[in-house]
Amino acid sequence: MNIREYDLTGKVAFVTGAGRGIGKGIAQVLAEAGADVVINALTPQYVEGLAADIGKATGRRVVPLMADVTKTDAVEGAIARILREFGALHILVNNLGDAIRKPLVSLSDGELRTILDLNLTATVLCSRAAGPHMLARRSGKVINIASFASAKGTPNLTIYAAAKAALVGFTRALALEWAPHGIQVNGIGPGLFPDPVTVGEAGYRQRVEDATRTVPLGREGRLREVGLLTLYLASAASDYMTGQTLYLDGGLTL
């Protein structure tokens, strides 16, 4: 069954922090839907092989792009390269994020800044850099990956939760700012989506076991599921939705 509103043929997507974890699932589904995808990571360790695998499986152009998207110069260079090589950028997925699980009083200044940069600054910088192109074209889709922690307090994740809550507010405000220009800005708040590449096989098994006890639906999330919701927000199917953050968390935030 082909549903034309979900067809991304001819679209170009940029997914930050996509070498592993949730970003990997997002990149895979967007390419399956017909998009050419630029997948970003800080180093080539995971992203080069992933780009080759997705490209081979889908027949789409999938390009790795190494850049530190918490830095203005690197972000502007990355967006300029995408526009130069692809001619357009239709979909921006601000997926980069990570946590340092520590009590607030134990966080160093460097750790505090790192958490804020990974979970908020990078999204602001990428949106600002992509904005002029999308505003000039009067179309675009921006999807910001938040977290269930933006809606539910979690001990030892205070700054992470604060950054993700700020990301939800940023999503709402930017959606209003860009709505007159035909651009939709939405977010996703994932719950527990472990990746064995990120946490190791033992860590993955432990998180799967934990999810059976802590998640109302009784299981962990699967990376592809975030990709499928991202596809909805990146496609014409969501043209009448903006400023929303959808919690894909098995009921954790209820």
Catalytic residues: 160
Query: What are the φ/ψ torsions at residue 105 (nearest 5 degrees)?
Result: -70, -10
- Rounded Cα gap, residues 131 and 111, in angstroms: 29
- Rounded Cα gap, residues 190 and 211, in angstroms: 13
Planar angle of CA 180, 122, 74, nearest 5 degrees: 105
Can you list the positions of beta strands (E) in the chain?
12-15, 36-41, 62-66, 91-94, 140-145, 183-190, 245-248
95 within 8 A of 150, measured Cβ to Cβ: no
3-state secondary structure of 131: helix
115 within 8 A of 70, measured Cβ to Cβ: no
Torsional sign, CA 102, 226, 190, 165: positive
Pick the closest to residue 163 from 128, 214, 121, 209 (CA basis). Answer: 121
- Rounded Cα gap, residues 250 and 215, in angstroms: 6
- Rounded Cα gap, residues 246 and 254, in angstroms: 13
Q: By CB neighbour count within 10 A (0-12 exposed, 13-18 middle, 19+ buried), where does 123 fall?
A: buried
